[in-house]
Amino acid sequence: MHQLTTSFVRRLRDRDESAWFELWQVFGPILRGQLMKWGNGRLGQETVRDLSQETLAALSKSIERFDPTRGVRFSTWLLAIARHAMSDEMDRRMALKRGAGKRPIHLQEDWMGGLGSAVDAAYEQKIFEAKVAAAIRRAEASSDFMSFEVYRMRVLDGRSGKDVAVQLGVSQPTISRHLQQARRELRTRLTEIVATWSFTPEEMAEAELAGLSGDDMLFDEALAEIWHRAASMDSEC
């Protein structure tokens, strides 16, 4: 397992507020979308927000039991907790006694191994795309402003090189240099984010399978496509 992965889990266990904020920023929209899907129209936006916050609160209490060495995705562990919170909410709504006549369900370690096959492929795809979106945000914060603005206009907004050059008042060769600089930063940040949030070999390989390890053209196309899907999801949540 990558050192960045274990370091991040350690920060969560140490109650590092910046680590928890990052977790909420990356996975919060995914959780809200998943809860809306499970609710099947029966949950309002406010309830969904409350449940997603309850999920993270429960995670903070159970993070000590998360064992990355077992090769379970962090997103799977998070989904188990969200499902637990959702189940409690639906039981309350139906006025049922949870666990009547049988042992109550707790977030035991065996949840980690029991959800893998049940996790929706679409959920895992959204988790990966949330990592990519986080890498883009991090690259934007660390890049030269002009370089990232050129990349945004040229790749993410899909404008022509000539149009961008005229808009910014620079030559097309200058546009190319800025593109290269921003792309290098994006590749670096993507590698960093994937290493931080990936716990299995399959997760580590997702970027390559998505075309984000290929040549510049494939990289730009794949990144722009993912960015637009992530932005669409954020607006829905």
Q: pLDDT tens-digit profile of 126-139?
A: 889 989 999 999 99
Residues 72, 50 share a domain? yes
Residues 33, 10 share a domain? yes
Range 199-226 average pLDDT: 90
Residues 48, 32 share a domain? yes
Which structural domain, as residue segments, surrounds residue 201?
Answer: 122-236
Residues 144, 115 share a domain? no
- pTM for the model stands at 0.76
Number of domains the chain contains: 2
Half-sphere exposure of 194 (CA within 13 A, CB side): 21
pLDDT tier, 63 (very low <50, low <70, confident <90, very high otherwise): confident
Residues 32, 106 share a domain? yes
Question: Token digits for 66?
Answer: 């998360």
C-alpha to C-alpha distance for 190 and 131, rounded to whole angstroms: 8
The fraction of the chain above a pLDDT of 70, given in percent, is 82
C-alpha to C-alpha distance for 56 and 137, rounded to whole angstroms: 22
Q: Decide: 123 and 75 in contact? Cβ < 8 Å.
A: yes
- Sign of the torsion formed by the C-alpha atoms of 192, 193, 194 and 197: positive
Residues 228, 153 share a domain? yes
Q: pLDDT tens-digit profile of 7-26?
A: 888 888 888 888 888 888 88
Q: Which of 21, 22, 44 is nearest to 32 (CA)?
A: 44
Looking up residue 67, the CATH number of its domain turns out to be 1.10.1740.10
